[in-house]
Amino acid sequence: MKKLLLTCAALALAIPAFAKNDALSLIPNDAVTVGVVRLADMRSSPLSSTLFQQTDKVSTNGDAEVFLREAGLQPTRDIDVIMVATSPRATLGRDAEVLVAADGRFDVDRLTKALDSRGATRTANSEYFLLPNSDGDRIGAVAFPDSHLALVGTIEAVKAALDARARGGTTFMSASGLARDLPRIDPHATAWAIVDVARAQRLADGPHVSNRTTSGAALNSALKTMTTVALWATDSGDALKLGAFGLSRDPETLQLVEDTLRGALAAMRLAVQDKQPQLVSVLRKFNVARSDDSVTISGSVPASTFREYVGKQTR
C-alpha cells in the first residue's frame, strides 16, 4: 500500500459548490480520510510561493523527475487542486481504496506516451491505464477523463470516480457523516484534511501523529479517542494560520486531549528555546480551547519565521 500511495503522489502531483468536472466533486461517499491542497492559491501568494521556489531548486534525477519531464507536467505550474481520499475496501477490512484527483492542465497525449513507455496497459475501453505491479504491491490505475482532470489510485477507486463523474459527482457533501463537520474548517484554507478516526484506525498505514517524542506519543494516543479530527492551514500572505479540532461527546476525553495539547505546546517551547528562541513567542500565542463537543487549537506563524524555517530545511 505504501508503494501504491507513492506512485499516486508522483503521478498526480474552502468548500465551494462542486461542478461536475471538479476533483472535489469526486470525494468517495464512504471516505474515511480526505485531504485537499489548493496549489493555485499557493502560486498566487508570496508566502506559499517560497515552498515552490525551494522545490524548484531540488533535482533528484530520479524516475519521478524523468516521468514528469517526459509527460510535460510541472505540478507547481500545471495543477490547481489535489484531493486525496481513502475508503475501506470492506466495512471491517484493513485494506483501503485510494483516490487522488487533480484539477489542472494536462497534456494527455504526452502523459499517455510516458505511461506506455513504462509498461502501463490500457483497458479494453481505454477509460484508464493499469500501472505496472512491483514487489507484490497492489496494482494501481490512472485515468485522464479530459485535459483538466487526472485520477490516480487503486483500480476500484478510479473506476468508481469515473462512474461518479458520469453521474455528475458523488453525494459526499450531502450524505456523508464526515462532511457535516467540514464547516468547522476555515473556508479559506489553503490546505485541509479531515479524518474519521474510528474507521481510519482499522486501515493499515492509517494516519497518525509521529511517536518520536514523548509529547507526540501522548498526542497520538489521545487523538485515537476522538471521533473526528481535522487540521488546516491558511496562507494569508503575511502569516500562515494553522488550526485543528478533535470531536468527542465524552467530557473526560475532551479534557484529556486539551491537557495533552497544552503539554505538547509547553514541551515544544522548551525544545526550541535554545536553538530557535524566536519560535517561543510564536508558540505562546497558540490557543487551545474546549467546548461541549470539541477541542480546538489555533495560531499563526509570521511570514518571516516561516521563510526562515523553510530556508533552513532546504539548505
CA atoms of 147 and 109, how far apart (whole Å): 10
Contact at 8 Å (CB) between 296 and 230?
A: no
User: What is the model's pLDDT at position 293?
Assistant: 96
User: What is the model's pLDDT at position 126?
Assistant: 78
User: pLDDT tens digit string along 117-157?
Assistant: 888 888 877 789 998 765 445 578 999 999 999 999 999 99
Asked if pLDDT for residue 266 goes beyond 50, the answer is yes
What is the arrangement of strands in the sheet containing 149-154, beginning at the earlier edge strand?
A: 121-122, 129-130, 140-146, 149-154, 96-104, 79-88, 33-38, 191-196, 228-235, 239-247, 294-302, 287-290
User: pLDDT tens digit string along 1-17?
Assistant: 444 444 444 444 433 33
User: What is the model's pLDDT at position 280?
Assistant: 92
Across 205-244, b (16+ Cβ under 10 Å) vs e yields: ebbebeeeeebbebbeebbebbbbbbbbbbbeeebbbbbb
User: pLDDT tens digit string along 212-224?
Assistant: 666 667 777 777 8
Asked if pLDDT for residue 315 goes beyond 60, the answer is no
Asked if pLDDT for residue 31 goes beyond 80, the answer is yes
User: pLDDT tens digit string along 178-213?
Assistant: 999 999 999 999 999 999 998 888 776 666 555 566
The residues spanned by each domain of the chain are 2-174, 208-313
pTM (whole model) above 0.85? no
Alpha-helical runs (H) found in 57-175: 63-71, 75-78, 108-116, 155-166, 172-175
User: What is the model's pLDDT at position 124?
Assistant: 72
User: What is the model's pLDDT at position 176?
Assistant: 82
pLDDT band at residue 46 under the 50/70/90 scheme: low
